[in-house]
Structure 1
Amino acid sequence: MEVMERDQNKMERAKERLKELKGFYWHLAAYIGVNTFITISTIIGRMGSGADFWDVLDFGSFSIWFFWGIGLFFHGMKVFSYNPLFSKEWEKRQIQKFMEEDKREAEKFGRHGR
């Protein structure tokens, strides 16, 4: 029975992970599609009003790529479990530290209670 519950939990975690991954890929597809459309529309619109091709290639033409890209980058970091500041090793060290502190507190309390 316990094995089935573990397998069920693994399946649920795998489904949740797949859902997050699909969400990221949809976000990436929207990023590419929407930004391509906006950039092409901006360039065509500016060139239609008499601007030279090289004049339309400024930060304004590509700023949405940049700012939305920041959000996409952090979304990817979350989905692919990359966190350089709070890595799994850091989490393990903190958990160990807190467990040792609790153990010391329990030992102190146990000695005073005798």
Structure 2
Amino acid sequence: MEANSNFKNTIEYRKARRQAKEIRGFYIHLTVYCTVIPIVIAINLIFVPDFYWFPFTVFGWGTGLLFHFMEVRKFTPFMGKGWEERKIKELMEREKSNYEKFRENN
């Protein structure tokens, strides 16, 4: 029974560690965004004051940051909960079926 408990704890630890790394990666991304965007705005306003191109950068990068946040928080409204597991199962079954067809023909 103890071995099963240790195994479960190891799996839970690895999952928690992976999630912590994902969160850390998001915070690094957010910090870089908040540091670089003011520089981009300043460059735009100083060197090309006639055309405001910085909103494209803010919006584009901000959209990427939003998707990064959604990935880290496991917020997937487009595919729903369990989509990845179902897709993996579907792909594995398809691969198994293809393999069996191949074996039958050879």
TM-score if structure 1 supplies the norm length? Answer: 0.64
Q: Which runs of 5+ in 2 are unaligned?
A: 91-106
State the distance in 2 between where 1:3 and 1:79 align. Answer: 27
* Root mean square deviation of aligned Cα: 2.1
State the distance in 2 between where 1:3 and 1:9 align. Answer: 10
> 1:18-97, aligned counterparts within 5 Å?
18-46=20-48, 51=49, 58=52, 60-88=53-81, 91=83
Shift of 1:44: 2.4
User: For residue 39 of structure 1, what is the amino acid of its counterpart?
Assistant: I
Per-residue deviation, residues 30-50 of structure 1 (Å, max 9, x unmatched): 11111111111221234xxxx
Q: Which has the larger radius of gyration?
A: 1
State the distance in 2 between where 1:43 and 1:5 align. Answer: 57
Shift of 1:73: 1.1
Shift of 1:14: 0.3
Identity across matched positions, percent: 27
Q: Tell me the matched-pair count.
A: 84
TM-score if structure 2 supplies the norm length? Answer: 0.69
Shift of 1:61: 2.5
Q: Which runs of 5+ in 1 are unaligned?
A: 99-114
User: For residue 79 of structure 1, what is the amino acid of its counterpart?
Assistant: V
State the distance in 2 between where 1:12 and 1:27 align. Answer: 22
Partner residue, 1:10: 12
User: For residue 3 of structure 1, what is the amino acid of its counterpart?
Assistant: S
Per-residue deviation, residues 58-101 of structure 1 (Å, max 9, x unmatched): 3x13211111111111111111111112211x64xx69xx8xxx
User: For residue 28 of structure 1, what is the amino acid of its counterpart?
Assistant: L
